[in-house]
Structure 1
Amino acid sequence: MRIASLLSSATEIVYELGLQEHLVAISHECDWPPQALHLPRLSRSRFDPAGLTSGEIDAEVRRCMVEYGSVYEIHTDALRDVRPDIILTQAVCEVCAVPTGSVHDAVAGLSFQPEVVSLDAHTVAGIFATMRQVADAAGQSALGTAAVERMTARLDHVAEAVAHRPRPRVLALEWLEPPFAPGHWIPEMVTMAGGDNLLGTAGARSVEVPWERVDGSDPDHLLLLPCGYDLAAARADADRSRERLYAAAPRALREGRATLGHSAYFSRSGPRIVEGTEALAAWLHPDAGLHAPRELILEPWS
């Protein structure tokens, strides 16, 4: 069995399931775990985001969608070379990763027809379902069951720790230029961590909102999670929007309750959302006895 992953979270799922010996190729965006980074890459972005602000990236994404209908290209020659039996892709967000439609177009002209498995999670339960889906496609259903049980147990521990505590109001933003309210599983993660999410709907798409709607929110905590950004990039992005963020969350910033999040633990529909939820709970409820490596996932911002 040969598995190709065109989705960062799918690569992480393959490793979480213990199926890494079957992985033969990854996407241009896959960056975890380090053991996978030597594999051939089957895709590329139509523009280089390095050094661009979030506003400039937003403009480039919109341009690519108008001009090409997609932000990404698939290397069909490389796909032909690795000859996967299974290709993992997604239809959750056509601008965040290679979409399912592009994969079907790419395999249509091949002399062999791999199974295209689309991982379309919109909730935490949906993420767990995609882990079972990958395990089932690989003929290893028991691995999916075991992985989901491990992660569910960790989330249950978080729920027990925060169950009877006051729920602070949390303003989370998934992009800053323009601002986006988080959707899919991120509002659910905030709730699981013991917070009251102010903007964005669990299970729905992330949506652009005007700054005027964000201004004056005055949350107890401000959570900045620019999609696709590590902590350094998130800090630079927040610094550029400092005036707007102070207008939205003056009390949280004044009292030291604003934080940046590494998006790999929040925006990716993979196993690291569990660690992200643990880190959120430890931040929102520091006296709850929860331990998470927050220095890798969350970082204060002021």
Structure 2
Amino acid sequence: MRIVSLVPHATELLYALGLGDDVVGVTHECDYPPQAASVPKVTRDVLPAGLSAGEIDAAVRERTENGEAIYLLDEERLAGLRPDLIVTQQLCPVCAVSYDEVDAVARKLDPCPEVIALDPRTLGETMGDIRTIAKATGCRDAALDLVARQRARIDRVRTAVKGAPRRRVAALEWFDPVYIAGHWTPQLIEMAGGVDVLGFPGEHSERTDMAAVVASAPEVVLCIPCGYDGPRALEEAERHADALRAVRADQVVAVDASAYFSRPGPRLVDGLETLAHALHPDRVPEAPGTVYPVAL
């Protein structure tokens, strides 16, 4: 089977299921696993490099309001790859080429590939995506094994933090303007031994302001600006140190959002383990990801 992935979390999932050799095309943002770097890219970003968080938000808002794309699909290259299956998403208009565009392009290809969209809003739905890919690709045994391993790791974290005092957590997904994390992140916080004081499981990330963050009185502020790696997340948090200082939280940390929180793929469980370590290091002494303390 020849598979094109048009969203990074789908690429990660395909490789986790042992389908890496079938992946013939990916997006320009697919950077994990490392093998994906050598796969032909079928998209590009239309926003210029080097924009600040505020400039990114303004540019994205302007283009989406005008009905303009944020990513461009290389239709000629896609056609040349002759995919049997295209995996994309509909959940977030700023995360990938729009589903409608992908579907329209696919209908012009001969043969016409199957197009499936992965649109999880909760951790449970990310597990459902594993089954969706398995059904489309015939990798049932690999899917069952992956689900079992993921659930075992989740259970280990929940057991480790059971009975620990639950820490109040505010998860910030963007700083300029301020967005609080939604979707699966509140669930990860709860499983890691915390209480999300702002976000709601399964709901969209929501725009707010620092006054609301201050009013929520979190003990921990989790800085996970969408799509940023750990050092960039730390840099962004430090840039807003004055605002974060006003929250008066006991702990402010930055984590690799791109790897562990923004993408609803297999590494969400890595994010859970990393978050549990940040909240309860005495009970979860090791983590797959780095926790960056934000000096205020």
TM-score, shorter chain, exceeding 0.5: yes
Q: Secondary structure at the match of 1:172?
A: strand
Instruction: Indicate conservation of the 8 Å contact 2:217/2:249, yes or no.
Output: yes
Runs of at least 5 residues in structure 1 that lack an aligned partner in the other structure: none
Q: Which residue of 2 aligns with 1:266?
A: 261
Alpha-carbon offset, residue 290 of structure 1: 4.2
**Map 1:142-153 → 2, pairs under 5 A:** 142-153=141-152
- Aligned-pair distance for 1:101? 1.7
Runs of 4+ in 1 over 6 A off after TM superposition: none
- What residue identity is the alignment partner of 1:199? L
Aligned to 2:186: 187
Alpha-carbon deviation of 1:135? 1.4
Q: Which residue of 2 aligns with 1:223?
A: 222
Q: Is the 8 A contact 1:74 1:106 kept in 2?
A: no
1:94 equivalenced with 2:93 (yes/no): yes
Secondary structure of 1:184 counterpart: coil
RMSD between superposed Cα atoms in Å: 1.3
- Quote the Cα distance in structure 2 between the aligned partners of 1:148 and 1:70: 34
**Corresponding residue for residue 277 of structure 1:** 272
TM-score, normalising length: structure 2: 0.96
> Is this contact kept in 2: 1:161–1:290, CA < 8 A?
no
Aligned residues: 294
Superposition pairs for residues 1-302 of structure 1, below 5 Å?
1-48=1-48, 50-248=49-247, 250-252=248-250, 257-263=251-257, 264-295=259-290, 298-302=291-295
1:3/1:88 contact within 8 Å kept: yes
**Which structure 2 residue ranges, 5 or more long, are not aligned?**
none
Contact (CA 8 Å) 1:172, 1:222: kept in 2 or not?
Answer: yes
Secondary structure in structure 1 of the residue aligned to 2:10 = helix
CA distance in 2 between counterparts of 1:234 and 1:32 reads 18
Sequence identity, in percent? Answer: 41
Q: Which amino acid aligns with 1:37?
A: A
| Alpha-carbon offset, residue 289 of structure 1 | 4.2
Q: Distance in 2 between matches of 1:14 and 1:280?
A: 25
After TM superposition, the score normalised by the length of structure 1 is 0.94
Q: How many angstroms does 1:240 deviate by?
A: 2.1
- The whole-number CA distance in structure 1 between the counterparts of 2:97 and 2:267 is 20
Displacement of 1:53 = 1.2
Q: Which moved more, 1:71-80 or 1:100-109?
A: 100-109
Contact 2:7–2:30 (Cα < 8 Å) also in 1: yes
Secondary structure at the aligned position of 1:180 is classed as: strand
Task: Give the partner amino acid of 1:276.
Answer: G
Q: Residues 193-223 of structure 1: CA distance to partner in whole angstroms, max 9, x if unpaired?
A: 0001111111011011123212343311110
